[in-house]
A and B are shown apart, each in its own frame.
Chain A
Amino acid sequence: MRITRLTAMAGVFALAMAAAACGGGDDSGSGSASGIVGKASKDKKLVFGVKADQPGLGLQTGGTYAGFDIEIAKIVAKGLGVPETGIEYKTTVSANREPFIQQGQVDVVIATYTINDERKKVVNFAGPYYVAGQDLLVPIASTITGPETLAGKKVCSVSGSTPAKRIQTDYKDAKLQQFDSYSKCVTALAAGSVDAVTTDDIILAGYAAQDQYAGKFKVVGKKFSDEPYGIGVKKSDTEGCNKINEILKASATDGSYTAAWNNTLGKSGTPAPELDVTKLTNCA
């Protein structure tokens, strides 16, 4: 009896491992036929992975998504010949972006997705379509003027994120409070429990522009890092990656990129950035 039970347990475990291994390994062997260009022209449908909790970038209200990332998604979809009705948005969080792309749960990820070398190993990045930088959000009357004035102050960021890590390694005098979402950080900032919130300037600008916080917070405006935001597709889909870069180039000249900015983040008063088409060179 005991042996039967143990064998059954081992069997279940082995099955689970095998299933997981399949999930992890299925990014290989998908040629250009299953790439996004092929899928877009055949099905007229694409699934975009976007953030759902970042005002100004990707924010879900009810069933609809809005923000700069969403506008970029629309530009990309249009360039690939997918009508707006063929776009499906899927909420991704930072931790599941790579698995979603690898397993084909989403076709394209546009979710404040910083291009870095580890990620390049498993994902093909088009873009950057925007270069953000780490900055600080503080109450209007705060004396904090930049990262070097953070000694002894409580700084909030999302646990495990790149900005949180940078505070831990480069600004050790600051006390780091971590939460699992930026909205909690902003709530704590409003309550005075932390002195500053830190992450990419573009995300902070989105929170500062929210109605309930109007006139309460300011973004310090001193970038202390470069975070190039890319558009992730499957590692094997170089064709799709290059195609997206072409679409981005076109959008910079025909004004749709500027329009996308003005309709979303531009509302906080920040003028539209210049899309640097010479840097669209990350496709593998």
Chain B
Amino acid sequence: MDVFSDSANIDTYVTGFLWILKLTAAATVGALVLGVLLAGMRVSPIPVLRGFGTAWVNTFRNTPLTLIVFFCYFGLYSALSLELSDDIDTNNYWLGVIGLSVYTAAFVCEAIRSGINTVPVGQAEAARAIGMSFIQTLTLIILPQAGRAVVAPLGSIFIALAKNATIVGTIGLMESSSAMKELINANGDAVFPIFFVFAGTFAIFLIPTGYAFGWLANRLAVKR
């Protein structure tokens, strides 16, 4: 285990997981906001918005994430010169957040939409009967109940997001999987210890996260 007694290697390892944490945090926010908006569009009475939501979900849900992230660098940055920061790492980080957000938003949207279907139709009818607009019905009556119903599936999506964040390594961010490759490349005698430490770290963080979401889902569930 002498690989992990070298402070430079520890540094690589910690920086790698910090990037994963930052990517996951920012992309969770991005995906949640986008996903709720898209879900709202998909149930809205306006055909154009419904079409847009459907197109988004079908496009991004069915495109490999590697390609989306690849496009963020070579399309948005390289060809369209969308420069988000002078610093290469920060720039790649934000490009990665964009890629992860638009991809995960498609899944969040579908989860929320399935939650909306659990809300009895009488609720919406009652809201309309007392004169609420579509936006009011959605934000005050439907979404609060729908959100509580889909805590568990959202948890799965965000756990997947944390692992998907490693894909940003393809555009050069030294996140955990790139950090692992770097350590393996330099320490060919310790491939298995390195692998287990990295895989184990993911498990140690994500298994409790899964239980936390399960607990939260139980607690927040709308008792009907």
Q: Which listed residue, B78, B169, B174, B188, touches A193 by the CB 8 Å rule? A: B78
Is A34 in contact with chain B by the CB < 8 A criterion? no
Q: A97 contacts B188, CB within 8 Å?
A: yes
Q: Mark A163-196, 1 if CB is under 8 A from B, else 0.
A: 0010000000001111110001001100111000
| Distance in angstroms between the alpha carbons of A58 and B115 in the assembled complex | 52
Is B191 in contact with chain A by the CB < 8 A criterion? yes
Also in contact, A180 and B178, with CB within 8 A (given A175-B88, A191-B78): yes
Is B171 in contact with chain A by the CB < 8 A criterion? yes
A-B pairs with CB below 8 Å: how many? 79
Chain A residues numbered 121-149 whose CB sits less than 8 Å from any CB in chain B: 121-123
Is A161 in contact with chain B by the CB < 8 A criterion? yes
Is B185 in contact with chain A by the CB < 8 A criterion? yes
Q: B88 contacts A191, CB within 8 Å?
A: no
What B residues does A98 contact at CB under 8 A? 188-189, 191
What B residues does A99 contact at CB under 8 A? 191
Q: Which listed residue, B169, B178, B189, touches A121 by the CB 8 Å rule? A: B189
What A residues does B47 contact at CB under 8 A? none
Is B184 in contact with chain A by the CB < 8 A criterion? yes
Q: B172 contacts A95, CB within 8 Å?
A: no
Chain B facing A: main interface SS: helix
Q: Which listed residue, B88, B186, B196, touches A176 by the CB 8 Å rule? A: B88
Is B170 in contact with chain A by the CB < 8 A criterion? yes
Is A253 in contact with chain B by the CB < 8 A criterion? no
Is B125 in contact with chain A by the CB < 8 A criterion? no
Also in contact, A95 and B181, with CB within 8 A (given A176-B88, A178-B172, A188-B78): yes
Q: A161 contacts B172, CB within 8 Å?
A: no
Q: Which residue of B lies closest to A101 (CB)?
A: B188
Q: A177 contacts B172, CB within 8 Å?
A: yes
What A residues does B189 contact at CB under 8 A? 98, 118-119, 121-122
Q: Which residue of B lies closest to A121 (CB)?
A: B189
13 extra A-B contacts, CB within 8 A, seeds A97-B188, A193-B77: A20-B196, A95-B185, A98-B191, A118-B189, A119-B189, A123-B188, A159-B181, A159-B182, A160-B178, A162-B186, A178-B178, A179-B172, A180-B178
The contact sample of 6 A-B pairs, CB cut-off 8 A, is A98-B188, A160-B182, A160-B184, A177-B172, A180-B181, A192-B78
What 7 A-B pairs are tightest by C-beta distance, nearest first? A160-B182, A98-B188, A178-B172, A121-B189, A193-B78, A159-B178, A160-B181
